[in-house]
Structure 1
Amino acid sequence: MKRALPVLTVLAVIVGIWYLGAWRMNMPWALQQAERAEQTLSTGELFKATMNQTRPRVPAPHQVAAELWSVTGEMAIKGRAMSKRSFIYHGWVTLRTTLTGFALGVTLGILGAVAITYSRVSEMSLMPWAIVSQTIPIVALAPMIIVLSNAVGIEGRGVPKAIISAYLCYFPVLVGMVKGLNAPGPQQLDLLKTYNASAAQSFFKLRLPASMPYLFTSLKVAIAAALVGTIVGELPTGAINGLGARILIGDQFGTPLAIWAALIAATCLAGVLVVVIGGLQTVVLRAMGMAR
């Protein structure tokens, strides 16, 4: 409960600010409607009018929650959880690509970190390019990846989205693992040399265990970045399935509630993924004797 209290407090503040923003942004339309009807609204009536608009500029939290429930909970209760109208189905489509891109990005990040740690040439060549790669806007890069994928004969929308996802998530893993693999001090490394330990033994018995806290911290950032990459990748691919596709379709049809519901669904999915990695971190570090 002590751990949850700060999170719940911040959540309550965010919801409060959200309600104030919805009230302020939706107020002009409510006043215009009242003026046309030659009515004078009290403060309470005005607040109520801003909270229940069909096409609000900023939907109120309870409206988004109701929309989210109608396309998740109600669909699940009716046995239609995997219907194409259900956010559970679209969340699964996005999650599947996210995990694929995450696995690819983590693999590339770890391999790159090992190369940088053990090779001065790799450090001088890979790291600058890794940093420069993150300055390219993903919105501009995503269409290029899709065009190149089609040019080399890669069919389907899943692979380009996974590549975009991997592109965003490999960098935090690379940086975190470089820091973690170099965490052992000179005295620890010299001690292994006195035992005539090989490079492999030094890696698996010292460097890799020391890098675990850094790795899991990076993975939490990487999984969120991978999800963002998948959603961004769904926008220019013309996808009709996935949370990114629901955001785009909601924008095309002018339904703010659908857009906000998809955004909140993506936020919840990211939160679940981070919590899962946090749980794995606790289990692994505890097994290694590095956490209570």
Structure 2
Amino acid sequence: MKGVLPIVTIVAAILALWYAAAVGMNAAWTRDQAVRAGVELSLAEVVADTLHQERPKLPAPHQVAAELWDTTVAKKITSKRSLVYHAGITLSATLLGFAIGTAAGIALAIGIVHNRAMDMSVMPWAIASQTIPILAIAPMIIVVLNSVGVQGLLPKAFISAYLSFFPVVVGMVKGLRSPDAMQLDLLKTYNASSVQTLWKLRWPSSMPYLFASLKVGMAASLVGAIVGELPTGAVRGLGARLLAGSYYGQTVQIWSALIGAAVLAAALVGLIGLAQRITLRRMGMAR
């Protein structure tokens, strides 16, 4: 019960601030409409109207909750109005991009740790690549891939991989270098090869760093998949829901898609956390 109370308190505070912000941001439209109609509204009437507008500047929490219920539970998963359907489209690109980014990040990290030339050349380029805004590079990636006939899932997956590989590179480089000199010298006395040192010492030592970077990479991969849907004018996916909501002023739809993306990211990161606890426990690195 002690652990639940702080969470409930924080959630209640967020909801209270959200409702207050919704009233403040939507009140101007309500008063403007009342002035045009020549009607004087009381404070209670203004508050009631701001919380039930069809296209509010900031939808109230109960409006977003109703939209989420309508697009997840009340709709069939196969319906194109179902948020679950669109989340599944984005999830497929996210997982593929995450797999590509993770594989590339681990491979680069191993090369950087074992090759000084790669450490001096590849690592600075990897860092510099993250200074390019993803909104600027995403259309370029899509146009280039479309020009060579690559369409559909892969362009979005490559954008996801672009965002997810960097945390894995940084985390794995740190993890693979985490064994101290005494441990490395001990393996040298046993005449262990670089591959044996990697497999027997460096790889197990890097597991906590790997899982920490995977959590960041997964969240970044989801962002990349959503961003990848925006320049294409997609009709499927969470990015498409955001686009459609912005085109038609459906702020409730926009917020429901954002909440859906947040829930999806939390679920994916939670699965990685579960895999981390199981793996580290079996390795004797956690209780």
**Normalising TM by the smaller chain, what interval?**
over 0.9
- 1:111 corresponds to 2:111: no
- 1:252 corresponds to 2:241: no
Q: 1:258 to 1:109 in 2, by over 3 A?
A: same
Whole-Å Cα distance in 2 between the matches of residues 270 and 9 of structure 1? Answer: 23
Instruction: State the SS of the aligned residue for 1:74.
Output: coil
Match of 2:203 in 1: 208
Preserved contact between residue 282 and residue 291 of structure 1 (Cα < 8 Å): yes
Whole-Å Cα distance in 2 between the matches of residues 191 and 53 of structure 1? Answer: 70
- CA-based RMSD of the aligned residues comes to 1.5
One of 214, 219, 226 as aligned partner of 1:231? 226
Letter matched to residue 14 of structure 2: I
Deviations 1:151-177 (A, max 9, x none): 2221x2211100000000000000000
Q: What does residue range 159-198 of structure 1 map to in structure 2 within 5 Å? A: 159-198=154-193
Letter matched to residue 49 of structure 1: D
Match of 1:94 in 2: 90
Tell me the CA shift for residue 145 of structure 1. Answer: 0.3
Q: 1:99 to 1:7 in 2, by over 3 A?
A: farther
Preserved contact between residue 233 and residue 243 of structure 2 (Cα < 8 Å): no
Q: 1:129 to 1:4 in 2, by over 3 A?
A: farther
Match of 1:64 in 2: 64
Identity, % of aligned positions: 57
Give TM-score, length-normalised by structure 1: 0.94
Structure 1's consecutive aligned runs of 4 or more residues displaced over 6 angstroms after TM superposition are: none
Whole-Å Cα distance in 2 between the matches of residues 58 and 250 of structure 1? Answer: 13
Deviations 1:182-215 (A, max 9, x none): 1111111111112222212211111111111111
Whole-Å Cα distance in 1 between the matches of residues 134 and 5 of structure 2? Answer: 35
Q: 1:113 to 1:238 in 2, by over 3 A?
A: same
Tell me the CA shift for residue 11 of structure 1. Answer: 3.4
Tell me the CA shift for residue 8 of structure 1. Answer: 4.5
- 1:243 corresponds to 2:232: no
Match of 1:220 in 2: 215
Match of 1:148 in 2: 144
Tell me the CA shift for residue 40 of structure 1. Answer: 3.4
Instruction: Indicate the larger mover: 40-49 or 185-194.
Output: 40-49
- 1:276 corresponds to 2:245: no
Letter matched to residue 213 of structure 2: S
Whole-Å Cα distance in 2 between the matches of residues 260 and 224 of structure 1? Answer: 18
Deviations 1:15-46 (A, max 9, x none): 22222211111010111223334433333322
Tell me the CA shift for residue 3 of structure 1. Answer: 5.7
Give TM-score, length-normalised by structure 2: 0.96
- 1:82 corresponds to 2:82: no
Match of 1:128 in 2: 124
Letter matched to residue 227 of structure 2: V
Letter matched to residue 54 of structure 2: T
Preserved contact between residue 106 and residue 170 of structure 1 (Cα < 8 Å): yes
Q: 1:274 to 1:4 in 2, by over 3 A?
A: farther
Instruction: State the SS of the aligned residue for 2:285.
Output: coil
Instruction: State the SS of the aligned residue for 1:71.
Output: helix
Instruction: State the SS of the aligned residue for 1:284.
Output: helix
Tell me the CA shift for residue 142 of structure 1. Answer: 0.6
Tell me the CA shift for residue 221 of structure 1. Answer: 0.6
Whole-Å Cα distance in 2 between the matches of residues 187 and 215 of structure 1? Answer: 22
Q: 1:216 to 1:254 in 2, by over 3 A?
A: same
Preserved contact between residue 55 and residue 251 of structure 2 (Cα < 8 Å): yes
Letter matched to residue 127 of structure 2: I
One of 278, 281, 289 as aligned partner of 2:284? 289
Whole-Å Cα distance in 1 between the matches of residues 286 and 9 of structure 2? Answer: 27
Deviations 1:193-250 (A, max 9, x none): 1222221221111111111111111111110100000000001112110000111011
Q: 1:176 to 1:11 in 2, by over 3 A?
A: farther
Preserved contact between residue 157 and residue 239 of structure 1 (Cα < 8 Å): no
Tell me the CA shift for residue 9 of structure 1. Answer: 4.2
Unaligned 5+ runs, structure 1: none
Deviations 1:28-84 (A, max 9, x none): 011122333443333332222211111100001110110111011111xxxx22211
